[in-house]
């Protein structure tokens, strides 16, 4: 099966979208960006191809007939157990590298026992982490393993007398190497088959569907890269496209009536005007710093000891938003601490922060030509309900009622546009 791939290398996450020859989205993948951009692209692409293969399993199960609910339950269980085995595979690499790091440092060899015990505890709890209905703050290995490692390191420091800060130092050194280990060849087949062996109650057609997905070759016919870090992508120059163009085309493909696109990513904000064919007619973007972007929200989350995903829901509980004077990341911590010392509620401070971010975005929209219906909000911040609420209110106040589109897959918009460019390039050269 020939596929076309788009890679969006962002400052925070790297995304991949895999298209079939007919333009259908077969798979999406995401990972955290890292120092080795090639590995980040490889991991995102591997995740996209894994998603595509699960789609092939679903299609084969549907073709085999039977009741839809048992099929859906079996597929969900297979993917959940697949993620457990994938996590355990990463954890094995983490243990191997961490053991080497501890053993090679004369001053850290007393941590060998606690480190081994921590990894053993993390392995033992994997079944619970990936149990039905289990809540996880993140599925990125660095985040998930980091949270569990910290908890077990705290316990080890109390029970064994091991220095907590030194154990954290071992994690920091180890995870940097783990993240730069290339994706495993054949990982889908090994993890999926291991997951299937754990399923005791599944349709008889699942085995054939799974083996079909394993056997289908996914040949990459073309690829295009984009994103904040596009100049560092390991792609030939002719396979690189501006993120402005990719977000415009991706938004148009998702919502064909779109005329204005706002993308708030980790490091920049883009206000884009497009025509009826998804061609960019004008744009504006912040060009100084990450103020008012996803990185700013991440910094605020760290200052408040919250998960990034918790900021929006907490801000939505505000009854009296605080006016924020600056969205500068450098001064954010100082103003935040000052507001808290004055007795302001966290949810009111966060509501004010979200409004300040959106006000910056509104100025970009105005300079790009305003907001025309339909209006599409893309990027990771589009998943933040407080940001969405503030944007909807300000657009309505300044431009009147109009349709605002937000896709559940908004974070993949740039990668989707890149994949569409890859498909167009392939058809043009055929």
Measured CA to CA, the distance from residue 295 to residue 317 in angstroms comes to 22
Contacts of 256 (CB under 8 A, 6+ apart): none
Q: Residue 290: what pLDDT?
A: 56
Question: Closest Cα partner for 379 from 343, 409, 345?
Answer: 409
Query: For position 296, what pLDDT does the model report?
Result: 78
Nearest to 354 by CA among 399, 393, 387: 387
pLDDT of residue 48: 96
- Give 166-178 pLDDT, tens digit per residue: 999 999 999 999 9
Q: At what angle do helices 68-104 and 205-215 cross, to 10 degrees?
A: 50
Q: Which of 167, 171, 145 is nearest to 158 (CA)?
A: 167
Quote the CA–CA distance of 255 and 283 in Å, as a whole number: 18
CB neighbours of residue 354 within 10 Å:
28
What the block records as the tokens of 324 is: 């924020």
* Ordered domains of the chain (ranges, CATH): 1-66+203-255+412-430 (3.30.420.40), 68-202 (no CATH), 257-406 (3.30.420.40)
Mean pLDDT of the chain: 89
d(CA 316, CA 289): 27
For the segment 93-122, the average pLDDT, to the nearest whole number, is 93
Q: Tokens standing for 165?
A: 């800060």
Confidence of residue 292 (pLDDT cuts 50, 70, 90): low
Rounded (10°) angle between helices 329-341 and 346-368 = 150
How would residue 295 be classed by pLDDT, with cut points 50, 70 and 90? confident
pTM: 0.89
- What per-residue confidence (pLDDT) applies to 244? 94
pLDDT for 160 equals 72
Number of residues assigned to the chain: 430
Look at residue 415 in the predicted model and tell me its pLDDT. 96
pLDDT at 135: 81
- Asked if pLDDT for residue 429 goes beyond 70, the answer is no
- Going by C-alpha positions, the residue among 19, 20, 17 that lies closest to residue 30 is 17
Each residue's pLDDT tens digit, 12-47: 889 999 999 999 999 999 998 887 888 889 999 999
Give 131-160 pLDDT, tens digit per residue: 998 887 778 999 899 999 999 999 988 887
Peptide bond into 245 cis (omega under 30): no
């Amino acid at each position: 099966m020939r596929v076309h791939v788009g890679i969006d290398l962002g400052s925070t996450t790297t995304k991949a979208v895999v298209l079939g020859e007919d333009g259908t989205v077969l798979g999406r993948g995401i990972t955290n960006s890292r120092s080795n951009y090639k590995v980040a692209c490889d991991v995102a692409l591997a995740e996209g191809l894994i998603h595509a293969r699960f789609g092939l399993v679903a299609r084969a199960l549907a073709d085999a007939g039977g009741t839809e609910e048992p099929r859906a339950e079996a597929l969900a269980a297979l993917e959940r157990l697949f993620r457990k085995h994938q996590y355990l595979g990463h954890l094995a690499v983490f243990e191997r590298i961490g053991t080497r790091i501890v053993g090679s440092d004369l001053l850290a060899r007393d941590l060998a026992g606690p480190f081994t015990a921590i990894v053993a505890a993390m392995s033992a709890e994997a079944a619970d982490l990936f149990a039905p209905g289990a809540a996880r703050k993140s599925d990125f290995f660095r985040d998930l393993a980091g949270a569990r490692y910290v908890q077990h390191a705290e316990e080890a420091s109390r029970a064994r007398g091991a220095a907590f800060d030194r154990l954290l130092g071992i994690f920091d050194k180890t995870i940097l190497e783990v993240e730069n280990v290339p994706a495993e060849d054949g990982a889908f087949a090994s993890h999926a088959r291991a997951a299937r062996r754990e399923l005791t109650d599944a349709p008889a057609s699942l085995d054939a569907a799974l083996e079909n997905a394993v056997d289908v070759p996914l040949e990459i016919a073309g690829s295009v890269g984009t994103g904040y870090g596009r100049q560092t992508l390991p792609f030939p120059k002719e396979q690189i496209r501006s993120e402005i163009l990719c977000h415009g085309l991706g938004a148009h493909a998702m919502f064909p009536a779109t005329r204005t696109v706002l993308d708030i990513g980790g490091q920049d904000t883009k206000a884009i005007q497009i025509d009826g064919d998804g061609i960019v007619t004008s744009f504006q973007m912040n060009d100084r710093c990450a103020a008012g972007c996803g990185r700013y929200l991440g910094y605020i989350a760290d200052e408040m000891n919250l998960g990034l995903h918790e900021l929006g829901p907490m801000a939505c509980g505000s009854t009296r938003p605080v006016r924020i004077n600056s969205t500068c990341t450098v001064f954010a911590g100082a103003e935040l601490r000052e507001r808290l010392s004055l007795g302001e509620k966290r949810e009111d401070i966060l509501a004010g922060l979200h409004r300040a971010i959106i006000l910056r975005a509104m100025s970009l929209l105005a300079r790009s030509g305003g907001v025309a219906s339909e209006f599409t909000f893309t990027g990771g911040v589009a998943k933040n309900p407080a940001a969405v609420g503030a944007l909807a209110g300000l657009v309505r106040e300044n431009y009147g009622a109009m349709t605002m589109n937000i896709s559940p897959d908004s974070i993949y918009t740039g990668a989707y546009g890149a994949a569409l460019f890859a498909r167009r390039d392939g058809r043009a050269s055929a």
